[in-house]
Every structure is written in C-alpha cells, then in structure tokens.
Chains A and B, each alone.
Chain A
C-alpha cells in the first residue's frame, strides 16, 4: 500500500511537471486549457482519486485526437484550503495561464469564492465538489455551474427513506459549519413537511474535525431519541461511531446518515462500520450498468485501484466540459455558458443534465443500507436516486436565486 501511494504521488508530480510547461502548449496555440483549483494539500484523501478520475477522462479524449484536433490540457493549483488563495490562483490561471475556463473546488466557501470571481470576471466556472446550496441558489450567477448533488438533494434523498420509519423523536449530529447546518435545516424542514408532528429533541454541532465524541454521544443519548440524523464524516464519523457503538447509542435506534456510504468515508471504518444505517453513497463494486462497469474496469486497469466517489466526480467534470465544448464549438465564455445551460451528457451513473434554471446538474447518488461483509462495510438494498427528482419546485428555485443570475 505504501508503494502505491508513492507511485500516485510520483505520477501526479509528473502530471504537474507537464502542466507546468505552458510554453510548449502555447506554442501550438490550439490546446484548450482548463484551470483546476482544489485543496490538494488539505483534503488529500478525497482529491487523489478525484484527480485520477479527472486525468482518465482527459487522457481518453486526447488519445482520441482531442476536440476537432485541439488537445485538452489542465493546469492544477492547490489552494491549501484557503478561499483567498483560491481567488489568487483563479486570477493567475486566467491572466497568466490564459485558461479557457475554471473548474474544481472541494470546500463550500472556496467554491463560493471562485464563483464570485467567475461572476465578476465573466469566466465560466464548473464547480465539481462543493455541496453548498448557496452556490447555485442564494449566490448563484450566470457563470457558475455545479456537478455534485447538493446538500439539499442529499438531505431530500434521506428524508424520503426517513419518513418511512415509525420514529417521531429525532436527534441530529452535524459538523458545525455551513454544510452541516444546511443539511440539518433541510432535513428538519423536509421531514416535518412529509411527516407532521416529528420532533427534534437534540441538535449537536461538534466542531469540524474536532468532535468530542464521548461527550457528544452522551448528550444525544440523554435526549433519548428514536432516530438519529448524522452529518459527520471522515475522522469525526469514525470517532462518533466508535463511541456510539461502545456505548450502545445505535441499538434500537434508526440512523440516517449523509455521505456515509461513500467509499472515502466508509472504507476507513472497516469491520466497525455500523449496520443498517440509511446512507447516501456509492456502492462501486455492485453497480453493474454497462456505462459504470466500463468506467470501473478502465479505472482499475489504469490505476490498479478501485474508484472512489471522487473518481466519478473528477471524471464527470471533465466529461461534462468535453460535451459542453462539443456543443459550444467555441471557447468563447458566453457561448460556453449558453452550451452549459441544459447540457445533457452520460455519466457512469446514467444520464445527467445541467438545469437551465439554476445550473445544478441532476447527477444523483445511491441510497441504501450499510452492512458489514468480509470485514468491511458495504451498501445493500441500494437504488440510484436520480438528482432530478430531489430538487425543489421551479417556483421555489426562482425565489431563492438572484434575479440577475
């Protein structure tokens, strides 16, 4: 495993070396350049597979001769988790590297910062990861598009299942930042709408990455809920699960949990993965549609590793950009934006559309239950929840989105 990581690092270093030689590329004058900004140094676990997926899609199109003979090229930048640095990189990519469009973003505030830059400087920005609803709604603008199902969509998917449970007394545990706050807000609102009379008896907001798991579990248990809505992920989730398991918090209690079925977050839990949680995620080993099987086989052949959700997101971001460029037939920003609106393309997950009304893609997620099998967590009884079914009505969207967007 150690060697594999080194290979990955060496490989990506090589990719940078190539990307960092703009003079060669510019000499041809014909390459289409994408500027990609992400928190590589602070979110390494998620963004390694993401970049692999990204490069795979890029290599595929370039191996096929590019777009009308024009090769695609990416310039990667590490924002170190700081929005202000992301804005500086955006400026550098546009002014010095002369990229045709911007993409990337993992943290919500960084997505919003680049989105703000895109609006001010009239550059296309295809956000891949950031989940915040504000990106396409409250702070939406003409130049910003987002691929991944948003906080609202993922919460709505879980509400659908949660409403089927008999539980009326709920507790929430959520990291204390915008993603966690919005997830809880939407879950409460949507569940109350579907199931009038549900009560929320405890709301815990531990600091992101700093959960005091024992105390948090105790505080939830003290409220004696019938079910728990969990939004924590990564190290916080592991701590929460360990303390909760040992203290019996999850016994006789249903749990609905955001993102927990994603391999990025479930795999580190190994045999301690909690059973029978309702989760959104990505059962990479079980989705056997032709488009996904091909993606999975190609990915494994290329990287000798299995795909994570980030791999799909990276792959599809490039995928969407390629389809957009074909449709636009130009790298003029306004033409590219027009092409993005209503753009349809096929993801390994199925057909996806970038909605004209709010620039949100209808990429979905898988909803299912967790189970431990062969010493690791897997998803069972899952189904693909198409994103288009989990968005608010057009009228509500228009209400939330600025008039000039």
Chain B
C-alpha cells in the first residue's frame, strides 16, 4: 500500500514536468494553429541557460534567490528568443498552407541542436540541486525527495496562474477569443501581431521554465529536445488542443500510467511473452489512440468553430501542361541513361532518392488531394520493409515475393489504421497516424523473436540476378516511376476528383452522393501500399531492416520532403524529395555542422518559397498566362 501511494506521488511529479512543457505548446497551437516543432528546443535551451546561470556562474551559491532567480531569468531569456523566432520567421509565413510552418520550426530545431553543441559542448552537464532540497521526506516509511514534492505543487500552481491569466485579464480574454475564432478577433480590431508575439513569448517561457525545473532531476544534455517533443504533443492532443486544463489532465493520466505499469508482471499471450513493464514509451501513444477514437477532439477540447482551418482555398488541379510533360520525359530519359555516366556511388544515391520520391509521392497522395496530413507515414514504409524482410528471412522467399509481401502488409495495416484515422481531421488525424506509427515501431522493437528487435534483420540482399548496382537501380527506377505514375493517374481519375471534393467540402460531396469517409479510407490505404512498396525496395537495397525505418524521424523526413516541394502541386513532392535528400546527402559529407546548414537552408527555402518550390514555379508559370486564372 505504501509503495502504491509513493508511486502515485511519483506519477504526480512527472505529470507536473510534462504539463509545464505541454501547456506552452497547447497555448501556441490554440491561437496560431502552428504545430511548433521547436518547442522541445526551447525546453532544452531553458535547461542549458538555467545551468549556465546557476552552476556556470554559480548563482546557486546565493541560495534560493540565486537558484530560482536563475531559472526564471533563463525562462525569460528563452521566451524572448521565441519572440525573435516568431517575428523574424513565423510571422512571414502565417498565410502559407497548413502545416507549412512545421517545416520552418523543424529548421529551427536543427539550428538549435548544432548551436547548443557549439556553445555548451557535448558532455552531459549536471545541474545543481535546489538549495535546501537535497533530502527526502518520510511518507509511510518510504523516502520521497523534497524536490519532487515541490514539483507536485508547481504543476497545479502554474495551471491556476494560467487560468487566472486567461480568465481575469483582458489579454487572456483576447487569447481565448482568438483560440475560438481568430479572424473574428482580427475583424474586431485587435492587433493580431502583438497577440501572436505575446503568445509565443508565454509558450516559450513555459517550455524553458519546464526545462529549467528539470535541473535538479536530470543532467542537461543534447537529446532533451527530441525526447520531450513527442510526449508534449501527445499530452496536448489527448488534453485537447488549446485546452490548458486538458493538458494537465492528460499529463496526469499518462504519467500515472507510466508509473504503475512498472509493477505489471510479464504474461504469455498466444505463446509470446508480453512484458508490459518494458513498454514504457507506448502507453502515451495507446492513450492517445484510444482517446482520439472515443473523443476526436481530446478530453477537454472543443471542435473548431468552423471547418475551415487553413485560410487559403486549395487550388484546382489542372491538366499537366505540355511543357511539364516534356520535362518529365526528359528527366526519365536522363534517369535511364544515368548508369552510363555516374559510378557506383552515384547509382547508390540515385536509387535511394528514387525510393524517397515514391515515399513522398505516396504521402502527398493522402496529404494533398486527400487533405489528410500524416505524421506517421514511416509506419507503412517500415511495414513494407518488414513484410519483405520477414518473407526472405523466415520463409526464404525470393525477392519478387518479398516485393509483393511488403506493400501487402503495409496495405493491410493501412486498412486497419485508416478506418480509425479517416474519422478525424486536421492535426488530430495526423496525431492519430503518429500514434499508430509508434505502435508499429514498438512492435518492431519489442518482438525480438520475430523482428530481431533493435538489432534488426540482416542479410536481406536481392536475388543474385539483381545484386548489381545498375540492375537494382533499373528495378527501382521501373517500380518507383510506375508507382508515381499510378498515383498521378489516380489523382486525375474520377476517384481523385471525389477525393478532392471530400477535402474541399465534405458536406457538398456527401450531398452529391460521394461516400467521403470511404473514399478517404481507400486513399489512405493506397498511400500505405505505395509507401510499403518503397519500404520493400529499401530493404533489399540496404540489406537490412531496423525499427528506425518506422520511427518518428523517418516520418518527419517524409513530411519535410512533401512540404518543401509544395503540397498543393502534384510534382512538388517529387522535387522536394530530390532537394531534401540531395541536400542532406551532400551536407553530411561536406561539413561537421551539417545540421546547422541544413536547418538554415530549410528556413531560407521556407522564406523564399512559402508555397513550396513547385508552388513557386507554378505561380511564376501562371503569371505569364494570366488568362488561365
């Protein structure tokens, strides 16, 4: 009994930590609709700056004032940094298509990672303990750290202060109004810019405060940003986006679940030993999946007051101009003769880029015409890879069977997951795809007997006829080009029109007899199948498969390629894949600071081409042909 009580308190302390970060993210999203990837970076920076003040400059020697003052000042400093990012970067791209700001904040993440390494070095930094709080208090014979006790109080205290701020000040009222309907607030003459900037300050401040308060608990280190960001998103979505109270409730639910699952003993299910206590990363995603299925807008979230989230109306899909067709033929011809001009390594890079082009095209299929953004597209890429690898590894099947099994497996899971996902929309849908992707990842990671766990499955090479780099290149070229063309054909087919109708106006589409949910479900599955094909090709190309194929960074890569190229055009994602992969491949070889340069390049591209690269070209193109408009 005493153990259970203390474990409950442990859960409360973790919930407070989680809540501080998540609340800032939730507030920013609620008003600006920006999925702020850089939130974890502000959390990390908050911890680093607080470390410098308290330990580096030894303010902690001045006792309480030095320690708490240091953490607060660090949070203010990082809050101001958030303001700078908002003014210099995000303010310029609020009008861009939905989720495009995600790309910009991802650039910030990369830059902050390298900058932090440069300023503070690689080694973990041990923060100071809070003055007078090194000890523990006695709870029913169990020792419980004083600082954890304080954290338990801080969470609800911040929640209370935020409530007062939002309900008892004019500024708070405006923020709540903007969360409900920001166009209306603007129409009433409220200065939007000031509101957004101040919201960014508050959000970044809270993230940094959360980071600073971790000093006595964990060392400050370079992986803090990515470790927290997925959890923070989950808390925000489970709680309901923009709902601070919901965020606390969600943090509490997830933290307690994680604390108590450690006591669950292993058991056997269908002859496989299931160890719940090992799966500490999964409950948050399971909770999210369940909550989103039952309550599509989170625990305390409200549906957006009107369906229109992105300001701009999606452009009409036009017939391919003759010039673009010729460009396509030329590119294809170039690809066919490529092996005669580049060496083995050129072919390796070209093969990899071709596979990524198919991934980008498949994601775009559901994101662009389908209007369903996915944060978990790597799930289907990974499933395709594992489908092929398992065939070869366990059944000794030839490559052709593996190349069929991969997309099949991905498609089956697409049908399963898609059924749940298409019932949601917008960011909620995207987060549900992420939850499913994490579940796939954890199965790949935990089911060691079948998948080899994180050591992966090795030695999955092509059949002897295809081992040559040029042969495999042609095989990939054939399948990827075919895949891209099939996807393209489907966009121009009646199915594609029905899909776009469902995206642009579900009500009207339903009225003319289109079963929107079913069409979206089919599109979701198609996207999964082609991502699976890419995954299967990737396995034989690399000779091995690992859970990282289905991990969040892979999903992010896919998303970045589509956004960079331009989600509103059909050719854009293909260009995005080439640019993103090419940049990455070149920079890694050229410089140590490749993340800094890649991040800066992404931001430069974002500012130069707010419609994506292809979107920009299309605009130029249409300018010359005004009559088309």
Contact = CB atoms under 8 A, between A and B. Distances in A.
A51 B549 CA distance: 28
Max chain A Cβ within 10 angstroms of own Cβ: one of B113, B121, B590: B121
Interface stretch (B34-42, B88-96, B341-349, B564-572): B341-349
Contacts of B121: 1-2, 4-5
Interface string B257-294: 01100110000000000010110110000000000000
A84 B592 contact: no
A247 B592 contact: no
Contacts of B258: 212, 215
A165 interface: no
Contact of B343 (A95, A113, A214, A222): A95
A210 B281 contact: yes
B64 interface: no
A44 B222 contact: yes
B217 interface: yes
Interface stretch (B162-170, B452-460, B519-527): B452-460
A92 interface: yes
Interface stretch (B182-190, B298-306, B496-504, B537-545): B537-545
B227 to A, nearest CB: 6
Contacts of B259: 212, 214-215, 218
A204 B227 CA distance: 20
A30 interface: no
Interface in B120-172: 120-126, 134-136, 142-145, 148
A85 B548 CA distance: 11
Nearest to A268: B124
A18 interface: no
A357 interface: no
A234 B219 CA distance: 9
Interface in A203-241: 203-207, 209-210, 212-216, 218-219, 221-222, 234-235, 238-239
A238 B214 CA distance: 12
A178 B262 contact: no
Interface residues of A, number: 77
Given A212-B259, A246-B135, A116 B459 contact: yes
Contact of A87 (B119, B145, B544): B544
B221 interface: yes
B192 interface: no
A211 B170 CA distance: 41
A213 B553 CA distance: 26
Contact of A246 (B3, B6, B145, B219): B145
Contacts of A45: 122-124, 221
B420 interface: no
Contact of B223 (A177, A181, A209, A213): A209
B416 interface: no
A216 to B, nearest CB: 7
B352 interface: yes
A88 B345 CA distance: 9
Chain B binding surface SS class: helix
Contacts of B593: 13
B588 A77 contact: yes
B433 interface: no
Nearest to B148: A214
Contacts of A203: 277
A2 B56 CA distance: 11
A212 B280 contact: yes
Given A109-B455, A243-B145, A5 B277 contact: no
A139 interface: yes
B7 A6 contact: no
A234 B126 CA distance: 11
Contacts of A276: none
A42 B548 CA distance: 14
Contacts of B445: 177
Interface stretch (B10-18, B424-432, B474-482): B10-18
A356 to B, nearest CB: 23
B585 to A, nearest CB: 8
Contacts of A12: 592
B544 A248 contact: no
Contacts of A88: 348-349, 352, 542, 585
A89 B352 CA distance: 12
Given A113-B456, A205-B277, A246-B145, A238 B544 contact: no
A215 B126 CA distance: 21
Contacts of B277: 203-205, 219
A132 interface: yes
A2 B51 CA distance: 14
A122 interface: no
A277 B278 CA distance: 25
Contacts of A222: 3, 263
B283 to A, nearest CB: 11
Interface string B464-496: 000000000000000000000000000000000
Contacts of A193: none
Given A88-B348, A247-B144, A248-B136, A119 B459 contact: yes
Contacts of A206: 280
Interface in A264-304: 267-270, 272
B591 interface: yes
Contacts of A48: 122
Contacts of A178: 453-455
B224 to A, nearest CB: 8
Nearest to B231: A210
B281 A214 contact: no
Nearest to A111: B455
A91 B348 contact: yes
B461 interface: yes
Given A205-B275, A214-B10, A109 B456 contact: yes
Max chain B Cβ within 10 angstroms of own Cβ: one of A41, A120, A216, A234: A41
A222 B263 CA distance: 9
A207 B145 contact: no
A82 interface: yes
A115 B459 CA distance: 10
A242 to B, nearest CB: 7
Interface string B574-597: 000000000001001111111100
B117 interface: yes
A84 B546 contact: yes
A59 B115 CA distance: 30
Contacts of A243: 145, 217
Interface string B232-244: 0000000000000
Max chain A Cβ within 10 angstroms of own Cβ: one of B134, B223, B543, B592: B592
19 contacts: A1-B121, A41-B595, A44-B117, A45-B123, A82-B548, A83-B542, A83-B548, A84-B548, A88-B348, A95-B344, A112-B455, A112-B544, A113-B542, A116-B459, A116-B544, A117-B543, A178-B455, A212-B280, A238-B126
Closest 10 CB pairs of A and B: A44-B122, A95-B344, A96-B345, A5-B121, A95-B345, A215-B259, A219-B262, A214-B10, A45-B122, A205-B278
Given A218-B259, A238-B126, A242-B217, 11 more contacts: A2-B119, A91-B344, A95-B348, A120-B459, A204-B262, A212-B14, A212-B280, A215-B262, A219-B263, A222-B3, A246-B145
